Structure 1
Amino acid sequence: MSIGTAEIERLITEAIPGADVHAETDDGHHYTATVVADAFKGKTRVQQHQMVNAALKEVLDSGALHALALKTNAPE
């Protein structure tokens, strides 16, 4: 069972309101998500990734999503 990019984007946006989220995949198994959010201001990269991972906890725990590369930043 895999997850779609729209669902990844929805889950992140629900957890981090106002985030600009773009998820993509080439094969339906390996994903990349780029997340830009005001909520990341003053946070380390690790903290930013922890926020995104928390948003996706359920799908990560279920195995529906297991290969995700993250790119996170606060807006400039």
Structure 2
Amino acid sequence: MAASHLLCGRNLGVVPLLRCAQRTFASQTLGELKVTRILKENFPRATTIKVTDISGGCGAMYEIHIESEEFKDKRTLHQHQMVNKALKEEIKAMHGLRIVTSVPKH
């Protein structure tokens, strides 16, 4: 594989890097906006929700940081299961997902 190509999603095959990199500085991709909206709906008490497309902008892999009171007194595994449940349909199209959850410090 040439260095100028990037594997961009399991169903998309090899895509030229320039076609995949759709981001501009300080902007969010449509996928990031959609995932953020879903998380805001499912975690209304969240104080922080940060969604980053870590696949170069093509939506194959995301990193999510979410801080919410809904996670209080729950183990990390259960917190991550809550996020997975909220994103159940979107996860079907993803290659991977990194989740970082926390409870706000008072």
Q: TM-score range by the shorter chain?
A: 0.7 to 0.9
Shift of 1:18: 2.0
What's the TM-score once normalised by structure 2's chain length?
Answer: 0.63
Q: Deviations over 1:21-58 (max 9, x none)?
A: 10002312221000000000100000100110010011
Higher relative contact order (CA 8 A, sep 6+): 1
Q: CA RMSD in A?
A: 1.6
Larger-Rg structure: 2
Secondary structure of the 1:65 match is coil
What's the TM-score once normalised by structure 1's chain length?
Answer: 0.85
Distance 2:34 2:45 in 1: 16
Structure 1 residue ranges (4+ consecutive) displaced by more than 3 angstroms after TM superposition: none
- Any unmatched runs of 5+ in structure 2? 1-10, 12-29
Share of identical aligned residues, percent?
A: 33
Aligned match of 2:97:
68
Aligned match of 1:11:
38
- Any unmatched runs of 5+ in structure 1? none
